[in-house]
Amino acid sequence: MNMPTKSSQITPSYNSGIQYKDYTCDELKIELDALSRRETMLTVAQEQRYKNSETQAFWWGYGQGDGIEAAELAQVRGSIEAVRKVMSEKGCNQ
């Protein structure tokens, strides 16, 4: 049916976090906030894609599949993990 993946099933992609190693704790917090906001936006977009695809699949027999939202959501989730890891290594308060 080519249905998109539910946002809750999209796993983080690998991110080493090396790009964050020179960030200060304040900069890491700002980056984490920005990534979290983007994750929320992409989660909503992916869930909407899923709902629309359910309707399409009902009428036409096939869904929309995953779009750019799923790929970016995986990347953003990986970045969030990387920032949190660097924050932990630096002893930053989250």
> What pLDDT digit, counting tens, does each position of 49-74 carry?
887 776 655 555 655 556 778 899 99
In 1-94, alpha helices (H): 25-60, 68-90
Q: What is the pLDDT of residue 76?
A: 97
pTM: 0.82
Q: Dihedral sign for Cα 45, 51, 52, 53, please.
A: positive
Tell me if residue 5 falls in helix, strand or coil: coil
Q: Which of 34, 59, 48 is nearest to 4 (CA)?
A: 48
Contact by Cβ (8 Å): 65, 1: no
Q: What is the pLDDT of residue 55?
A: 67
Secondary structure letter of residue 61 according to DSSP: S
Measured distance CA(68)–CA(9) in Å, rounded? 15
The stretches in the chain having pLDDT less than 70 are: 1-3, 54-66, 94
